[in-house]
Amino acid sequence: MKNSYDIVVIGGGPAGLAAAIAAYDNGVKDVLILEREDGLGGILNQCIHNGFGLTRFKESLSGPEYAARFIDGVKERNIEVCTQTTVLSLTKEKTVTAINAENGVFTLQAKAVVLAMGCRERSRGALNVAGSRPSGIYSAGTAQKYVNIKGYIPGKSVVILGSGDIGLIMARRMTLEGAKVHAVCEIMPYSSGLKRNIAQCLDDFGIPLYLNHTITKIEGEKRVTGVVVSRVDENKKPIKGTEKHFDCDTVLFSVGLIPENELTKSAEIPLSPRTRGAVVYQNRETEARGVFACGNVLQVHDLVDFVSEESELAGKAAADFVQNGESVRNEIEVVNGKNIGYVVPQRLDKNIKGNVKLFFRATNAFRDCTITAKCGNQILMQRKKKIVVPGEMETLILTETKLAESNGTIEVELEEGV
Amino acid sequence: MFDVIVIGGGVIGGTVLRELTKYRLSVCLVEKENDVCMGQSKANSGIVHAGFDAAVGSLKAKFNVDGNKMMPAYAAELGVKYLNNGSLVLAFSKEEMQTLQELKARGESNGVPDLRVIDQATLREKEPNVSENAVGALYAPTGGIVCPYGLTIAAIGNAMDNGAELFTDFEVNEIKKNGSSFAVKSADGREVEGTLVVNCAGLASGKIAALAGDNDVRIGARKGEYILLDRESGNFVSHTLFCTPTKKGKGILVTQTVDNNILLGPTSEEMEKGNTDTSETGLAFIIDKVRGMTKNPPLYNTITSFAGVRAYSDKHDFIIEESKTVKGLIHCAGIESPGLTSAPAIAKYVAEEIVAKILNPQKNETFNGKREKDYFFKDLSTEEKNVIIKKDPSYGKIVCRCEQITEGEIVRAIRENPPAKNIDAVKRRTRAGMGRCQGGFCQPHVAELIARELGIPFEKVTKNGNGSEIVVGVSK
């Protein structure tokens, strides 16, 4: 362990791994990955289902297999790794304070930092779901950890709130482990999960999906004994008289991922309220020079393939920063327009060469869509898509030429049925 | 054979137990749950009341004011977090300002120092986030906050370090008086014998009294729901904010906790028996009230909601006396608010004025009231941390990321008096699981440590005692 490194990568999951490898391959060998778990791989380690890597490797890999491709890459390059190490704080000046058993509390100085801390799950408590607080209530990811990593079943009779990917995957996982999954409830009128997961996790197993429903009460003293589920109105308020009761011993909550930006906040690096991740430029540099962000800590992704792609951008940019120093920016803003929830990156630097891939999500499910990136009244790029849903991240490529032509804020918007 | 058996491991039973170890007495505490502090003392606002609320001449008033004076030193000795943050009773109308004058007068009769009514400008200065509609407040500088479960656990732990014994999972179902001693039996067949019994059984103190033959203790239950906000919003208010009591009720509190969370609540709902469910209406009530009291409360930072139950006596005052019908049975019953504040004073009174007068015991010269400071590792300086990590590397391993709690602290909680035997017990002692992810990341790790330290299979690790096992079996 040295006192300083060229690049410190915080997080050894798919984002951190890809960023570290990219930085190395772009000429900066002095890279350190700090990881708080026992080993590398991040959340992929507990995602034993397949479907990872379809875009990137044209194969359907399990989470650990996908991670292994990158872990091998880190090993081959002899990139330094510190596991069981938690970063306690970060400054804008790239001083990293961390703790582990071997070194105690220690400080490192980095020339560049890559933030790759991933997400945490929203809990039942944050939703104020009424009722009792017995054993048997888990966020879907924690249940997944118990089953896939620790080797234990959290329960035998399950109701799930949230039809995002983690909820869907766990509906299948629990069923395969011998549990009865009575229902997946979803407060929105549509599922935010990948279409293939609805088919492969619910339809294939005959698990009913109740859209426009939420759990309004949990029952049970020491252990869950049941839940009350209600239909909701357009304002997401439970409708009296629509209550349905399910006997069960387990409730899984899959109700949202929140990027873990405590360190980002401690460094006073601006976050976007829309993504809850850092505001970044197309090279994933934050407002703090030499600090980059990628993966779920920046925006919650659906596909790890895009995480790797984004993180390679960040890793390469970190290497550029170390080798060439702070560049002069020529910046314009990117904003979300009609029917668009957010766009990443939120800033573009016209001095950075190359095409830009804009990532965004729609605010609702739309059909026959026309997606437009415009600057003032000038249309820069336009794309048509038959179906766009919030649960599937979309992209739009802005060529270098178009970027060079833009002299004001770029807005991305979606029109339906045009 | 014990000199004194204390029934009930809440803050009253715990502080009484500790006070008794200042004498050369053999004492024990029997607690029906798997851990101490699982009843009323667990879900408590943590307010150290100034004492203007209690009726003049009541036991509540007397013990409140005495307890308030004792609390800073009492908490410090036990290494428990306490903060003298001051209380503000908000008024929203001329009538309420008048009521504040009455509260002030009542407080002064009770012996509360330094009360003053402040105007809108002063109020805004003290609390910038108070609603624009608040016209003034009663300021009670002696109001404070303490950790209610921290205090309970520390008092019991210190009592045990001084020789007291603790029996958990001991649900009293029989109390027989044999001549001059009591045989106290548990539902699972254990028995303890003692000369005196102190009834600190909270909601069950009526039942305990009746088991011993005293039918004069009648306890009612009133539920209170709370909402807790993340530490990120910890500076939203600095004083504890109350509402002026009106005919409609008492309103809710908005307060910091000693750990820098923001606590909203409690509601007040009569219950037939103890039930700690939260309800849609209760939570909605809290949200409505806090929006009336403050500007833009950061409700988006809600991390959990919970409920507790108050045990009140039909006399609407504390019952702290030897039973009139059963000699040797001492009641500490109906200890609702300001029970936590009063605890150090109640304990002192029970030990000195009741027990000692009956048993005439000698002082315990070896009594050591100091418990190691209840610091959390993260509050130490880097140098202090590194000294500890060098000696014990498990302090270098963070288990609860949200609260930065180390493996060393969790293991210590499992080993130290009173030992933590389940997930919630570890949580109450260390804060592991109290952060924004509510145990999403750390619960499996904590469960593993409990299994390892107690030498039990993982499937036997519980959330809070038998029946609340974390997992139900091994996966395929």
Q: Are A137 and A224 in contact (CB under 8 A)?
A: yes
How distant is the alpha carbon of residue B207 from its chain centre?
21
Q: Are A200 and A50 in contact (CB under 8 A)?
A: no
Residue of A48, A89, A122, A135 for testing the chain B interface, max B β-carbons within 10 Å: A135
Three-class SS of residue B108? helix
User: Beta strand pairing status for A250-253 and A157-161?
Assistant: parallel
Per-residue pLDDT reduced to its tens digit, A22-42: 999 999 999 999 999 999 999
Using the predicted structure, report yes or no on whether residue B91 has a pLDDT greater than 70. Answer: yes
Query: Measured at the alpha carbon of residue B33, what is the angle toward residues B32 and B37, in degrees to the nearest 5?
Result: 105
Report the C-alpha gap between B419 and A299 in whole angstroms.
Answer: 42
Contacts of A139 in chain B (CB under 8 A): 437, 440
Amino acid at A217: K
Amino acid at A327: S
Q: Are B10 and B152 in contact (CB under 8 A)?
A: yes
Structure tokens at B474: 């091994």
Beta bridge partners of B116: B139
pLDDT of residue B374: 66
Report the C-alpha gap between A260 and A165 in whole angstroms.
Answer: 19
Q: Give the mean pLDDT of chain A.
A: 96
The dihedral through the CA atoms of B116, B239, B296, A123 has a sign that is negative
Q: What is the ipTM of this complex?
A: 0.93
* Residue linked to tokens 């049925």: A417
**Residue B105, C-beta contacts closer than 8 angstroms, at least 6 positions apart:** none
Helices and strands counted in chain A (H then E): 9, 29
Query: Nearest CB to B462: which of A123, A135, A152?
Result: A135
**Residues of chain A falling short of pLDDT 70:** 418
Per-residue pLDDT reduced to its tens digit, A128-147: 999 999 999 999 999 999 99
Are the beta carbons of A126 and B304 separated by less than 8 Å? yes
Residue of A108, A142, A263 for testing the chain B interface, max B β-carbons within 10 Å: A142
How distant is the alpha carbon of residue A23 from its chain centre?
21
Residue of B269, B280, B299, B300 for testing the chain A interface, max A β-carbons within 10 Å: B280
Contacts of A249 in chain B (CB under 8 A): 472
Q: Are B307 and B44 in contact (CB under 8 A)?
A: no
Residue B75: count other Cβ atoms within 10 Å of its Cβ.
23
H or E element that contains B242: strand B240-243
Burial class (CB in 10 A: 0-12, 13-18, 19+), B467: middle
Structure tokens at B16: 């009484």
Averaged over B359-367, what is the pLDDT? 97
pLDDT of residue B203: 95
Report the C-alpha gap between B271 and B219 in whole angstroms.
Answer: 11
- Please, which residues 72-131 of chain A have a Cβ atom closer than 8 Å to chain B? 84, 86, 88, 99-105, 120-121, 123-126, 128, 130-131
- Please, which residues 156-185 of chain A have a Cβ atom closer than 8 Å to chain B? 156, 176-178
Per-residue pLDDT reduced to its tens digit, B266-307: 999 998 777 899 999 999 999 999 999 999 999 999 999 999
Chain A residue with CA closest to B280: the answer is: A130
User: Beta strand pairing status for B219-229 and B302-313?
Assistant: antiparallel
Per-residue pLDDT reduced to its tens digit, B249-264: 778 999 999 999 999 9
Contacts of B282 in chain A (CB under 8 A): 130
Query: Nearest CB to B398: which of A36, A126, A142?
Result: A36
Q: Are B139 and B117 in contact (CB under 8 A)?
A: yes
Residue-level length of chain A: 418
pLDDT of residue B475: 86
Report the C-alpha gap between B116 and B141 in whole angstroms.
Answer: 9
Report the C-alpha gap between B340 and A250 in whole angstroms.
Answer: 35
**Residue B376, C-beta contacts closer than 8 angstroms, at least 6 positions apart:** B403, B404, B405, B409, B430, B431
Report the C-alpha gap between B428 and B43 in whole angstroms.
Answer: 11
Q: Are B229 and B299 in contact (CB under 8 A)?
A: yes
pTM: 0.95
Percentage of the residues of chain B whose pLDDT score is greater than 90: 95
Averaged over B434-461, what is the pLDDT? 96
Helices and strands counted in chain B (H then E): 13, 23
pLDDT of residue A418: 67
Q: Are A259 and A221 in contact (CB under 8 A)?
A: no
Cβ of residue A133 closer than 8 Å to a chain B Cβ:
yes
Contacts of A256 in chain B (CB under 8 A): none
Q: Give the mean pLDDT of chain B.
A: 96
Report the C-alpha gap between B284 and B417 in whole angstroms.
Answer: 39
Per-residue pLDDT reduced to its tens digit, A206-242: 999 999 999 999 999 999 999 999 999 999 999 999 9
Catalytic site includes residue B49? yes
Report the C-alpha gap between A373 and A96 in whole angstroms.
Answer: 38
CA distance A238 to chain B (A): 10
Report the C-alpha gap between B100 and B94 in whole angstroms.
Answer: 10
Report the C-alpha gap between B139 and B130 in whole angstroms.
Answer: 14
Report the C-alpha gap between B228 and B190 in whole angstroms.
Answer: 39
Are the beta carbons of B397 and A100 separated by less than 8 Å? yes
User: Beta strand pairing status for B172-178 and B181-186?
Assistant: antiparallel
Residue B263: count other Cβ atoms within 10 Å of its Cβ.
22
**Residue B363, C-beta contacts closer than 8 angstroms, at least 6 positions apart:** B22, B23, B24
Are the beta carbons of B280 and A152 separated by less than 8 Å? no
* Residue linked to tokens 């197993």: A205
Report the C-alpha gap between B382 and A89 in whole angstroms.
Answer: 12
- For B327-348, the DSSP string reads TTEEEEE---TTHHHHHHHHHH
| Helix-strand-coil split of chain B, %, nearest 5 | 35, 25, 40
Residue A5's nearest CA partner among A125, A129, A96 is A96
The CA distances from residue A322 to A8, A26, A149, A311, B412, in Å, are 11, 11, 38, 16, 44
Quote the crossing angle between the two packed helices B11-20 and B339-349, to the nearest 10°.
Answer: 30
A-B CB pairs within 8 A amount to 147
Q: Are B125 and B238 in contact (CB under 8 A)?
A: no
Residue B26: count other Cβ atoms within 10 Å of its Cβ.
16
Are the beta carbons of A130 and B283 separated by less than 8 Å? yes
* Phi, psi of A350, deg, nearest 5: -65, -15
Averaged over B120-138, what is the pLDDT? 97
CA distance B297 to chain A (A): 15
DSSP-derived secondary structure letter, A150: I
